[in-house]
A and B are shown apart, each in its own frame.
Chain A
Amino acid sequence: MSVGVLEAMSLVVRREMRLAFRRPDQLLQPLVFFLIVTTLFPLSLSPELSLLRDMAPGVLWVAALLSSLLSLETLFKGDAEDGTLEQLTLSAQPLVAIVIAKTIAHWLLSGAALVLMSPLVATALAIPVGAFPTMLASLALGTLTLSWLGAIGAGLTVGLRRGSVLLSLIVLPLAMPLLIFGASATDRAIGGEGSAGALYFLAALCVFTCTLAPFAAAAALRITLE
């Protein structure tokens, strides 16, 4: 029985979703982490809303980066441990397609969920509603790019015992442009300035990593699994 590439990819995506919804605690933990980290800032800095509004884009973005990192570790780990990944690499489908499918599924489960929850956090941080569209767009593009970068990092560290710290060490420096442009887009939207430039740049970064990162991540998996 032969299956087309797209069909195989959608099968992998659906499998990932079904597995994730069977373990909802793993799905919720990064989101709760996101909430807790954003709560830390008003407590440690000041509950004053005007001050919070100035800090909000940075707080939101740092929390989003950290909580996405948290879920990245599991991107390939479970499948590598029980041998599923080896079976997938042996299948007739190209490894790149499987990496793409798994990363998209990971983004739907972590990044997209985080984007959906961000208005809640944004309200608590006194971000005006007018800035929400920009904030949502920048977070969506940024978390997707981060998922791609993270797929490379997760591929490189999948077989390692102490991989999670190393994963952050590898991925965070690469993710700094995301932080810069994402936070500045949100910041400008809050100030009522045009944020299109930063958003375009985020979109360009996203397209760039979407095209190159799957190959790098597939190569990384071949190195660590063979």
Chain B
Amino acid sequence: MWTWFYKLASPPHAYRSAAAMAPWFLAAAAVMIVYGLVDGLVFAPPDYQQGDAFRIVYVHAPSAWLSLFAYTTMAVAGGIALIWRIKVGYAVAAAAAPIGASFTLAALATGSLWGRPMWGTYWAWDPRLTSELILLFLYFGVISLRQAFEDPARGDRAAALLGLVGVVNVPIVHFSVYWWNSLHQGGTVMRLGKPHMAPSMLWPLLAMLFGFMCFFGAVLCMRVRGEILDRERQSAWVRELVGA
């Protein structure tokens, strides 16, 4: 277990294993996403309240889930890198940030397209929407902090620290936003009764969730390779790699 961990922490090894893992993740993601989309859009019955509009959940929920998952990955990888001084951790954190930000945007956009037919408005100050928006701001902060430093190693460490501070703060922001809205308006907002979902609707959703997770794994592997190369530009193994 630990030897595996130490091996993965060595940049050339991580670079090669990321390349080896990416196609598998991508293949699994493609299978699950195609199945989820076909089953969810064609075969699942329309919702008795929301009609066919509920089908947006098949892309909205996985995006929202991934936006949080990518943030946690980023913070944990950054934390590991800060504490044990593992360079690969910074590469993972740097790779996860833009992916997470893109899925946060996707979750916001699909949520607003779902909100229009259901709530009658593209944007409501619903707690979920609002906390997702704040998450997007946090991503912007981390990404621009990393880029603001001329010394990349320093930018890496600063961004990792900010990611950790954010991960402590995300639950607080999340719950305070819920509390805030429950003060002002009652339960007018429609919610999807998740535990009561029919299996014919649930299976494609689960497939989409896992498909998006695998997709995240795949693009993280692909992006990490670039980040590792950038950090190891002066090392012997990279010179050997590009010189050959």
Contacts and interface: CB of A to CB of B under 8 A. Distances in A.
Q: Do chains A and B touch in the complex (CB under 8 A)?
A: yes
Contacts of A199: none
B135 to A, nearest CB: 8
Contacts of A220: 158, 161
A220 B177 CA distance: 28
Interface stretch (B141-149, B188-196, B223-231): B141-149
Contact of B138 (A157, A173, A201): A173
* Residue of B138, B166, B172 most packed against chain A (CB within 10 A): B172
B173 A156 contact: no
Contacts of B138: 173-174
Interface in B154-210: 154, 157-158, 161-162, 164-166, 168-169, 172-173, 176-177, 179-180, 183
Interface stretch (A17-25, A76-84, A176-184): A176-184
Contacts of A52: none
A101 B103 CA distance: 41
A162 B179 CA distance: 35
B159 to A, nearest CB: 9
A181 B169 contact: no
A208 to B, nearest CB: 8
A119 to B, nearest CB: 25
A223 interface: yes
Contacts of A159: 149
B140 interface: yes
B183 A184 contact: yes
Given A156-B162, A173-B134, A162 B180 contact: no
B176 A177 contact: yes
B103 to A, nearest CB: 18
A180 B138 CA distance: 17
A28 interface: no
A166 B165 contact: no
A216 interface: yes
B244 to A, nearest CB: 36
B176 A181 contact: yes
A157 B172 CA distance: 24
The prevalent SS among residues of A at the interface is: helix
A180 B175 CA distance: 11
A160 B146 CA distance: 11
A136 interface: no
B154 A180 contact: no
A177 B171 CA distance: 10
A101 B226 CA distance: 42
A181 B180 CA distance: 8
Nearest to B131: A176
Interface size class, chain B = 20 to 34
A169 to B, nearest CB: 5
B144 A169 contact: yes
A156 B145 contact: yes
Given A160-B149, A162-B148, A176-B173, A169 B161 contact: no
B165 A216 contact: yes
B75 to A, nearest CB: 13
B180 A180 contact: yes
Contact of A169 (B137, B165, B176, B177): B137
B148 A157 contact: yes
Contacts of B166: 174
Contacts of A223: 154, 157-158, 161
Contact of B145 (A157, A181, A205): A157
Given A157-B145, A180-B177, 11 more contacts: A156-B158, A162-B148, A166-B145, A176-B134, A180-B176, A184-B180, A205-B172, A223-B154, A223-B157, A223-B161, A224-B158
Closest 5 CB pairs of A and B: A177-B176, A173-B137, A180-B180, A223-B157, A170-B141
14 contacts: A156-B145, A157-B145, A166-B145, A169-B137, A174-B138, A174-B166, A176-B176, A177-B169, A177-B173, A201-B176, A216-B164, A216-B165, A223-B157, A224-B158
